Structure 1
Amino acid sequence: MKHLLPTVAVLSLAVPALAQEATPPPSPGEIAAAAPARDWVAIAPSDLLVMDLAPDAKSRPRRVVIQLMPAPFSQGWIGNVRKLAAAHWWDGTSVNRVQDNYVAQWGDATEKKPLPQGLAALSEDAYSLALDGITYWENPKTNAMRLKAVWLSPEAFEGGPIIRDDSYADAGMFWKGWPVAMAGDAKADEIFDRGKYVWPVHCYGMVGVGRNMSPDTGSGAELYAVIGHAPRHLDRNIAVVGRVVSGIEYLSSLPRGTEELGFYKTEAERTPIGSIRIASDLPAAEQPRFEYLSTESDSFARYADARANRRDPFFIKPAGGADICNIPVPVRPVVAK
């Protein structure tokens, strides 16, 4: 397949601000806030996992809301998560591990609680997905490089903007509001004419499946959230099933475990879990509502460019690029009318 790629980093998405502008260039947050309603995508309550921790020392509630990944990524594990939530399996379990600059992990500390029947056993091949038939094009309005591909399944796949420079993959990109990475069987300077694999990446707030040594891949009963610098070395080694869209502070601020890998030594140190439910199983009035900025929109292209090239007044020298995890997709609550 013949194609042309720009000689500069692909993530150069908007026209530089003119020196003569009367007003300073907007910050990334201002760009997201100004995005029109049509650029925001509602997250279905059926795709939200609601975890209510025990109240804090001042009796204040602590709710963590997790968005589950859409198909086709990690669907076997996500199916298990849905079954576990429907069975109320996590009720009465706890946050068992908090490792500084790494993860907060929850599940059954005794490892003796029986699991629901019918949970799927997944292979390591499901950590990433194969692609074929890849083409590329540029958005003439923003110069953002985008991608269209076909799963070997097959199923249409479109994503972008593409970030060419990635230490853990041949390229990174955004797909339906999620950061993902892609690579061939081996890294090379020219990747675009070879077979591809694509997978979700471990950014801050992402939720993955705890497991034992390979070939175990975990059932989904043990989950963790990233609370530190993006541990991208876990990509394609553990299943990613979602991301925290609200309440990450209730996990990241917990006391660090004193045992190896941040596990708590005693039951008193653990944070109890009151319940975990799929949001659509809650009464309508209690269902949280969120929406994300469409990563296919021109607003997101401008936002991503502003994250990579800070031109707002505080910054002196734009970086000229950004790690994919330093471009968090804006998510906001939907206020009931």
Structure 2
Amino acid sequence: MKKIILPALLSVLLSGCAQQFGNDVVNQELPLLSASEVIASATDNDWRVVDAQNILKITLPTGDAYIELNEQLAPKHVQNIKKLAREGFYKNTSVYRFVEGFVAQGGDSSGKKLIKTADRTVPAEFYSTTNKPLLITELNGDGYAPVTGFLNGFAVAQNSAHTQTWQVHCSGVFAMARDNYINSASTEFFVTIGQGPRYLDKNITVFGRVLEGIEHFNRLARTPTEGKAFNPITNIQVLGDVQSDKSIFKVMKTNSAVFKNLISARKNRVEPWFVKAHNYVDVCGMPIPTKREVIPINS
């Protein structure tokens, strides 16, 4: 016969979880506010301004997509793709490969385009290693990693010692494609456009996420049309270099109290429609609030 867990025992179990390293003690009690109400309660101090030098602007026929690069976990890939962008490598390339509900892949499909200053290949950065445990806003473990959570606005996972940290494959991540050789990542990137393929974690270098414009990848053509360029990429630029675009992106600080309250609100939904609260949210099911402000060019 199943026994009901007594409240006192449940309290002990929850307090034990809160003592784990890296868990910034997300509120374990049922939230009083909905997720939208928590976001609305955020103050200016709860948001960080994303450095425009770490944002890529991808100009597609369907619209502009903006990618925040993850310099902390994959610095070599970030440095190299910014070099590629600044030398104009991606002008008139294309998004040439789709796997529906999985990825959209782009770059130079011929593999013959001249590279001027960037490296042809970049060593794998599947995870970042630190000598000391790296503090994250911890969520929970899952079947793919003993620890998951958030670091500087990115969904991440860690080993049990918290000394290996990697960005996980959620929907909208930005990663470099490779062949069987692990250090073969070159110029071809992909964006995940469906449910996060977590089985790719630590097999591919993930080094960014879409801040805005994922719908523009989803609206691209799936098959070529005769006599028409196939999903041409007009350009990929570092946003800070684009004088005609003064967009400012702000991302909720994932180490803030309001974000921890947001996690609690997502774990246990209080909106009237919900009947069952599960006290759980997957790391890829936790949206990171992002907003954009546009400064007039003449200001």
- TM-score, normalising length: structure 1: 0.76
Shift in Å, 1:127: 1.2
Code of the residue aligned with 2:43 in structure 1: it is P
Name the CA shift for 1:46/1:304 in 2 (closer, same or farther; >3 Å). Answer: same
1:293 maps to: 252
**Maintained 8 Å contact 1:104/1:251:** yes
Name the CA shift for 1:182/1:298 in 2 (closer, same or farther; >3 Å). Answer: same
2:269 maps to: 310
Q: What SS does structure 2 have at the residue aligned with 1:301?
A: helix
Distance in 1 between the 2:98 and 2:37 partners? 34
Name the CA shift for 1:95/1:121 in 2 (closer, same or farther; >3 Å). Answer: closer
2:76 maps to: 76
Shift in Å, 1:280: 0.9
Runs of 5+ in structure 1 lacking a partner?
Answer: 18-24, 57-61, 135-148, 150-157, 184-190, 258-263
| 105-114 vs 5-14, which moves further | 5-14
Code of the residue aligned with 1:253 in structure 2: it is R
Name the CA shift for 1:290/1:167 in 2 (closer, same or farther; >3 Å). Answer: same
Shift in Å, 1:79: 1.0
1:214 maps to: 181
**Maintained 8 Å contact 2:84/2:118:** no
1:15 maps to: 29
Q: What SS does structure 1 have at the residue aligned with 2:247?
A: coil
Distance in 2 between the 1:133 and 1:289 partners? 34
**Maintained 8 Å contact 1:14/1:301:** no
Distance in 2 between the 1:278 and 1:34 partners? 32
1:252 maps to: 218
Distance in 2 between the 1:199 and 1:68 partners? 13
Distance in 1 between the 2:155 and 2:41 partners? 22
1:182 maps to: 158
Code of the residue aligned with 1:129 in structure 2: it is S
Distance in 2 between the 1:119 and 1:266 partners? 34
1:44 maps to: 51
2:286 maps to: 327
**Maintained 8 Å contact 1:68/1:243:** yes
Q: What SS does structure 2 have at the residue aligned with 1:32?
A: helix
Of the candidates 166, 174, 182, which is equivalent to residue 199 of structure 1? 166
Q: Deviations 1:5-62 (Å, cap 9, x if unpaired)?
A: 8445878525325xxxxxxx432122112211110100111111001112x5xxxxx1
Shift in Å, 1:305: 1.1
Code of the residue aligned with 1:231 in structure 2: it is P
1:145 maps to: none
- CA RMSD across the alignment: 2.4
Alignment of 1:1-337 (within 5 A): 6-7=15-16, 13-17=27-31, 25-54=32-61, 56=62, 62-71=63-72, 73-119=73-119, 121-124=121-124, 126-134=125-133, 149=134, 158-160=135-137, 162-183=138-159, 191=160, 194=161, 196-219=163-186, 221-257=187-223, 268=228, 270-283=230-243, 285-336=244-295
Runs of 5+ in structure 2 lacking a partner?
Answer: 1-12
Name the CA shift for 1:195/1:308 in 2 (closer, same or farther; >3 Å). Answer: closer
2:4 maps to: none
Distance in 2 between the 1:266 and 1:242 partners? 33
2:6 maps to: none
Name the CA shift for 1:133/1:282 in 2 (closer, same or farther; >3 Å). Answer: closer
Code of the residue aligned with 1:204 in structure 2: it is S
Shift in Å, 1:269: 6.6
**Maintained 8 Å contact 1:217/1:238:** no
Distance in 2 between the 1:235 and 1:265 partners? 34
- TM-score, normalising length: structure 2: 0.85
1:154 maps to: none
Distance in 1 between the 2:264 and 2:102 partners? 28
Q: Deviations 1:128-177 (Å, cap 9, x if unpaired)?
A: 1223333xxxxxxxxxxxxxx3xxxxxxxx321x1222111011011111
Name the CA shift for 1:110/1:266 in 2 (closer, same or farther; >3 Å). Answer: farther
Instruction: Report how many residues are paired.
Output: 279
Shift in Å, 1:108: 1.1
Distance in 2 between the 1:27 and 1:120 partners? 48
Q: What SS does structure 2 have at the residue aligned with 1:91?
A: coil
